Amino acid sequence: MADRTGHFAGEDPFAIAQRWLDEAQGSEVNDPNAIALSTVDQDGLPNARMVLLKEIEADAFVFYTNYGSAKAQELEGAGKGAFVMHWKSLRRQVRVRGLISKVEGPQADEYYKSRSLKSRLGAWASDQSQPLSSRASLMAKVAKITAEKGPNPERPPFWGGYRITPLEIEFWADGAFRLHDRFRWRRATVACDWEILRLNP
């Protein structure tokens, strides 16, 4: 597409997304890798929350969570998810819709070990999305887990990653007079080639 130049240039959407994220690392004040993750529950009611994108792979996007959380249950129930990553400083965003799979084993172990010790212990202590009687009870559980697990806890069996393999990626950049630039990459299956279309603002 002749006018897909500048910010939008490239033949690999994952490389474009990585390039945009790298640019945002130098301009966003907090968490340039924050994404608004959307899921649906068993009744089809939408849900959204902020999580941190931890890796852009050659063909997918990866984040981590507690497998018992509401987001995890909804992702696994539907087998699909979506997110938007928006940078105010760049006036750009990336929207992704796709298929869900788990990230476990050595890849999840390696990321877990890269986290701070307090975050690793916190993953053990939190029954994510479940009712909590008080902050004090949570901190007491953290202290108990700290004594039990020591300075090098293993990854909890109920904690790991999810991979979104996209069927659709949209790159959006702010334009004058709200005439924004939008390019949608879409494929029917992960084995298909991408169809790239410029969209109206």
Q: Which residues are catalytic?
A: 178
Distance separating alpha carbons of residues 142 and 16, to the nearest angstrom: 40
72 to 2, 55, 106, 145: CA distances (angstroms)? 41, 18, 20, 23
Alpha helices in the chain (DSSP H): 13-25, 70-78, 105-114, 117-125, 135-149
Say how far apart CA 95 and CA 136 lie, in whole Å.
Answer: 39
Instruction: Tell me the β-bridge partners of 56.
Output: 61
DSSP one-letter code for 150: T
* Alpha-carbon gap, residue 182 to 35, rounded angstroms: 19
Phi-psi region of 142 (alpha: psi -120 to 50; beta: other; left: phi over 0): alpha
d(CA 185, CA 75): 22
